[in-house]
A and B are shown apart, each in its own frame.
Chain A
Amino acid sequence: MSVATATPQATSGKTTYLNHDKSIRSWLLTLDHKRIGLLYLSTIVVVFLAAGILALLVRIELLAPGRTIVDAQTYNQFFSLHGILMVFLVIVPSVPAILGNFIMPLHIGAIDVAFPRLNLASYYIFMVGGVLVVIAMVVGQIDTGWTFYTPYSSRLGAPVIFMTLAVFIAGFSSILTGMNFIVTIHKMRAPGLTWNRLPLFVWSIYATSIVQVLATPVIGITMLLLLLEKTLGIGIFDPAMGGDPILFQHFFWFYSHPAVYIMILPAFGIISELMGVFSRQEVMGYKFVALSSVAIAFLGFLVWGHHMFVSGQSTVSSVVFSLITYLIGIPTGVKVINWVGTMYKGSVSLKTPMLYALSFLFLFTIGGLTGVMLGVLGVDVHLHDTYFVVAHFHYVMMGGTIVALIGGLYYWWPKITGKLYNETLGRIGCLLVFVGFNTTFFTQFVLGSQGMPRRYYDYAEKYADLHALSTYGSWILAVGLFVALYTFIQSLMRGAPAPANPWGGASLEWTHTTSPPSPHNFEEQPIVTHGPYDYHHFYAGDGQSVEAELASRSEA
């Protein structure tokens, strides 16, 4: 049986994608999906740091009522930039662009994505968007929040033009990457890799790509209309010119709700992989998990109105949107049960990636349940636009997507860099992130249900204690994230060489190539004979050698 005999090769002295050409030029003009993944990784880490620092500044300002460090105008810019950077330049692109690029072709046994040049072009388009954001920041005064609601946003000048243009352009990168991935997954799977054997990560990237291709043009058009309104003075959204601000909200959420799934579906994929590998167990309900991603991707287009229950849209539409929102909630809930159930009768190992996966389950369950609470019409009226909403989406976006991304980075780190990381440090980082995150954001649920509105520079004395607690939490969270960053940097500098399959995974990136992989991914065309979580099958063939290999790997 071919799989089991694919014993990992020694890495030392081999040509890998990292060392075959070390010039800067070869990095900047690379067509290799792995290197492009790393280009995205480095860019996104920088933006994440910047947006994270803004978040810390926002929290420090809110440490006490009244002015703490900056004035209202600056504060409003801080939270707006934090939101814009995090949403459009970090969370939306992160998992597909970094891990999707790096891992997906390996997962399907391909030598690259279908259109490598387009892939590189997507990266540079993304960079143009990023540069425009920086210009907008330098030109000044973006204080619209990440939602750019009209007519407030229509009254601001040049910076909003740059910012909307940036979102518009970054959107193209998203569309092109999505198309590239769809074609790759359809056309470039290794022989024997049927749809039923596709790793769930690939399924989720596939579903995400569909949403990217279908939804992103809408935000493009919206931003374009906003631009036309501002530059040519055509009244579209601004009532002063005869436009309709609610129309903007419809357009905006028609993109931004599906975008929520662009942000969370890839995280689901990572969690499926982690739960499988670290439980050495078939992922429970494989078919359900795979197809529900696709179902969620489509249903996600039908619920945008749940952001607008108090906006003045008709009662009937609110009711319909509320109902469909629940329909999405159900498959998502069943997925959580499937992930937990994967540990049943498994062989559970609590390495750092698994700790992140378990944190994800904890945090995402809270995020999901509070999402359902917000979908309840009568309750949402009270909770809408309060800190409850802020807490909810941080639980989903940060506790969900970012936590899954970090877990995924730890998991694939040995494959990506060929180095092992320090397990103890990794775990400490995870613990700090978990504690810090909950301290920061759980308090915000209470603040919100007590009536504290979001985007407030100043607040009443009665909210002061909870706000202070939330700020302290943000410091713990920041320390946790820096510990994680340090773990990665330390591993790069001094990490022990990683074996090809340190976790005993059963998918192609572990069984059929070295760590790090060679420039062309696989020495020869892999042939797939079993499912991605078929650990029994995998170990049955040559259990001995894998065990020896696992034992011999330096304890980290």
Chain B
Amino acid sequence: MGDKGTFWLPESASTVSGDVDSLFYLVTWISVVIFVLVVAAMVYFMMRYRRHHAGQVGAPAHESKWFEMSTVVVSTILVLIVFTWGFRVYLKLNIAPPGAYEIQVTASQWKWDYTYPDGTVYAGDLHVPADKPVRLVMNSIDVLHSFFVPQFRVKQDVLPNRYSSVWFEATRADTFDVYCTEYCGNQHSGMLGQVIAHPQEEFEEWLASAGGGGLSPEEYGERLFGQNNCNTCHSIDGTRLVGPTMQGLFGSQRQLVSGESVEADENYLLSSIVAPAAQVVEGYPPAMPPSYGSLPQDQLDALVAYIKSVQ
């Protein structure tokens, strides 16, 4: 990683982040100057005109209309400069260059899914080509979320009832953070991911293997278990998190809140993932999101195969 960022801003790694940063520093410095002037005047007056005996009254001070007028005029000019600049950067942030590589993003509680032009669905991390504009067309299947990559200086809310979009062009092949910045419930702060920018050929190779080709179902399932954030609620070593551990689950007897007891076979595992509310395990809140029902069948198969293997 080249540049490590500054005191104020994280490293800058997209074609627009430089513009945002210059603007940020311009406004910061104007603010610092104004602030220092105000505080200096305050401290100076405070000492210079300190009251010395109880009955002392201020001397008549005549207001200067010019002074007030000039502060208004100067601040208006400053404000218009900053506004215009801010507006231009905003347009740049909003209008994707033609021919950008398009990826569909589906946000749900609490994960990101990415669908590539060739139909590959990949959860968790966003792989993109570096040095190429990428446009994300985003949609949520439940509540509001927001897609934020600090190193790119881009952010966009993701809505359930309409598409929103955001674009960026990574200036180098590296790994960057993805945060959800619109509060979306319990695991909001766990709705993280990474943008992994690859050089073009590497990206193509990655895309070719992304569908789990070449992996055994268990290996693919293990990867999906991490990508879909199952591991934020389920451990594989017996620890109790939000949900029950997966260790030794397959084949055991499950006590449900409905009172019945069932054996955890393949069908039970599958239905627990696609329709978690139907069979809730005793002693746990019905906190598992229903959104996994939309996973493709091959991914569900792989997950079940993986859970079976966790003993």
Residues on A facing B (Cβ under 8 Å): 72-73, 76, 143-145, 149, 151-152, 155, 239-240, 243-246, 279-282, 284-285, 288, 309-312, 315, 318-319, 322-323, 326, 329-330, 333-334, 336-337, 340-341, 343-350, 358, 361-362, 365-366, 369-370, 372-373, 376-379, 381-382, 384-386, 446, 449-451, 453-460, 504, 535-536, 539, 543, 546-547, 550-551
A340 x B20 contact (CB < 8 A) = no
A450 x B186 contact (CB < 8 A): no
CB within 8 Å for A382 and B61 given contacts A149-B183, A365-B35, A376-B82: no
* Given A239-B161, A285-B63, A453-B181, residue A280 in contact with residue B58 (CB < 8 A): yes
Contacts known (A72-B187, A450-B5); A379 close to B157, Cβ less than 8 A: no
Instruction: Evaluate contact between B155 and A310: CB separation under 8 angstroms.
Output: yes
Decide if B161 touches A348 in the complex (CB within 8 Å): no
**In the assembled complex, which residues on chain A have CB atoms less than 8 Å from the CB atom of B86?**
322, 376-379
Q: Are A280 and B5 in contact (CB under 8 A)?
A: no
- CB of B55 within 8 A of CB of A550, answer yes
| Chain A residues whose C-beta falls within 8 Å of the C-beta of B143 in the assembled complex | 151-152, 155
The CA-CA distance from A345 to B45 in the complex, in Å, is 8
Residue B8 at the chain A interface, CB threshold 8 Å = yes
Cβ contact within 8 Å between B183 and A152:
yes
Contact assessment for B54 and A322 in the assembled complex, using a CB-CB cutoff below 8 Å: no
**Interface residue ranges of B38-62 to A (CB < 8 Å):** 38-39, 41-42, 45-46, 49-51, 54-61
Complex Cα–Cα for A386 and B82 (A): 21
Q: How far is the CB of A352 from chain B (nearest CB, A)?
A: 15
Q: Does B293 contact A (CB under 8 A)?
A: no
Question: Using an 8 Å CB-CB cutoff, how does the interface string of B56-73 with A read, 1 for contact, 0 for none?
Answer: 111111010000100110
Q: Indicate whether A453 sits within 8 Å of B179 (C-beta atoms), given known contacts A446-B7, A458-B190, A539-B57.
A: yes
Let me know if B103 is at the binding interface, CB within 8 A: no
Question: Which residues from B are CB-within-8-Å of A551?
Answer: 54-55
User: Could you tell me the distance in whole angstroms from the C-beta of A455 to the nearest C-beta in chain B?
Assistant: 4
Report the minimal beta-carbon distance from B19 to chain A, rounded to whole angstroms: 7
Q: Could you tell me the distance between the alpha carbons of A239 and B39 in the complex, rounded to whole angstroms?
A: 49
In the complex, the chain A residue whose C-beta lies closest to that of B16 is A378
Other-chain contact of A76, B60, B71, B94, B186 (Cβ < 8 Å)? B186
Q: Is the CB of B155 within 8 A of A348?
A: no
Interface of chain A: mostly helix, strand, loop or mixed:
helix
Contact of A345 among B59, B159, B181, B185 (CB under 8 A): B59
Q: Is B100 an interface residue (CB 8 A)?
A: no
Which residue of chain A has the shortest Cβ distance to B62 in the bound complex? Answer: A345
Distance in Å: Cβ of B47 to nearest Cβ of chain A: 8
Residue of A72, A318, A350, A358 with highest tally of chain B CB at under 10 A = A72
Please give 7 more A-B residue pairs, beta carbons under 8 A apart, in addition to A281-B61, A288-B68, A384-B155.
A76-B186, A143-B185, A381-B154, A385-B146, A385-B155, A446-B8, A453-B181
Q: Which residues of B contact A76 (CB under 8 A)?
A: 185-186, 188
Q: Report the bound CA distance from A333 to B35 in whole Å.
A: 11
22 residue pairs A–B, Cβ–Cβ below 8 Å: A149-B183, A310-B146, A310-B156, A319-B90, A326-B79, A333-B71, A344-B45, A345-B59, A345-B61, A350-B46, A358-B46, A377-B86, A381-B20, A384-B155, A450-B8, A451-B151, A453-B180, A455-B189, A458-B189, A535-B57, A546-B55, A550-B55
Closest to A242 in B: B161
B76 within 8 A of A: yes
Instruction: Known contacts A239-B161, A334-B68, A451-B177; decide if A340 and B60 are in contact (CB<8 Å).
Output: no
Is the pair A347, B58 in contact by a Cβ cutoff of 8 Å? yes
Residue B34, interface by CB 8 Å: yes
Q: Is the CB of A451 within 8 A of B148?
A: yes
- Size bracket, chain B contacts: 35 or more
Residues of A within 8 A of B46 (CB): 343, 348, 350, 358
Binds A, one of B22-30, B249-257, B260-268: B22-30
Known interface pairs A334-B72, A459-B189. Does A361 touch B183 (Cβ–Cβ under 8 Å)? no
User: Contacting A315 at CB < 8 Å: which of B9, B23, B94, B144?
Assistant: B94
Q: Known: A149-B144, A379-B20. Is A322-B83 also a contact (CB below 8 A)? A: yes
Q: Specify which chain B residues have a CB less than 8 angstroms from the CB of A504 in the assembled complex.
A: 54-55
List B contacts of A370 (CB < 8 A): 31
A334 touching B71 by the CB < 8 A rule? yes
Q: Give Cα distance in the complex from A304 to B196, angstroms.
A: 36
Please tell me if the beta carbons of A346 and B179 are within 8 angstroms of each other in the complex.
no
**B150 contacts A by Cβ under 8 Å:** yes
Contact between chains at A379 and B155 (CB < 8 Å) = no
B181 CB contacts on chain A under 8 angstroms: 384-386, 453-454
Instruction: Kindly report which residue of chain B lies nearest to residue A75, judged by CB atoms.
Output: B189
The reply to whether B58 and A345 form a contact with Cβ atoms under 8 Å apart is yes
Kindly provide the distance from the CB of B107 to the nearest chain A CB, expressed in whole angstroms: 13
Among A143, A243, A311, A323, the residue within 8 A (CB) of B83 is: A323
Q: How far is the CA of A455 from the CA of B187 in the complex (A)?
A: 11
Cβ contact of A535, chosen from B7, B42, B58, cutoff 8 A: B58
Asked whether B54 lies within 8 Å of A379 as measured between CB atoms, the reply is no
Q: A381 and B185 in contact (CB under 8 A), knowing A151-B144, A346-B49, A451-B148? A: no
Over the window 146-184 of chain B, the binary record of Cβ atoms lying under 8 Å from chain A Cβ atoms (1 yes, 0 no) is 101011011111011110100000000000010111111
Taken together as a complex, chains A and B put the C-alpha atoms of A458 and B72 apart, in Å, by 44
Q: Report Cα–Cα, A72/B60, bound state, in Å.
A: 59
Min distance, Cβ B16 to any Cβ of chain A, angstroms: 8
Q: Do B27 and A337 have beta carbons less than 8 Å apart?
A: no
Known: A149-B183, A334-B72, A347-B57. A382 touches B50 (CB 8 A): no
